[in-house]
């Protein structure tokens, strides 16, 4: 039952931020000094990143179980893999390596 729920729902696993990042603020300062900077708790930013990851996983499952032609599935899967690769920059925030983003593997 758990496997089915994970496969077909938006239920997410618990993902922890690395200890060294707890309590940190992300400060975005615009180049234009007339504009106000933006502070975001790193935990909130991390939550958004993990939500993107979880939704990508759901999309990947839906593509794989769809009735699309095989070449269409492969094309979409390649886009999803590239998105994962673009998000590997944020892997430094994850506490557990197995929960990090993985892009295209070298051959």
Digit-coded pLDDT (tens) for 56-78: 989 999 999 999 999 999 999 99
Q: Which residues are CB-neighbours of 60 under 8 A, at least 6 positions away?
A: 77, 80
pLDDT computed for residue 28 by the predictor: 94
Q: What is the pLDDT of residues 9-52, one digit of tens each?
A: 655 678 899 999 999 999 999 999 999 999 999 999 999 999 99
Q: What's the pTM?
A: 0.74
Instruction: Compute the chain's Rg from CA coordinates.
Output: 17
């Amino acid at each position: 039952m758990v496997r089915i729920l994970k496969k077909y729902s938006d239920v997410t696993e618990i993902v922890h931020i690395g200890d060294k990042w707890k309590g940190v603020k992300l400060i975005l300062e615009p180049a234009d000094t007339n504009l106000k900077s933006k502070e975001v708790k790193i935990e909130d930013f991390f939550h958004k990143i993990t939500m993107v990851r979880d939704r990508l996983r759901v999309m990947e499952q839906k593509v794989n179980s769809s009735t699309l032609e095989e070449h269409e599935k492969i094309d979409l899967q390649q886009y999803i893999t590239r998105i994962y690769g673009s998000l590997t920059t944020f892997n430094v925030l994850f506490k557990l390596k197995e929960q990090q983003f993985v892009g295209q593997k070298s051959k």
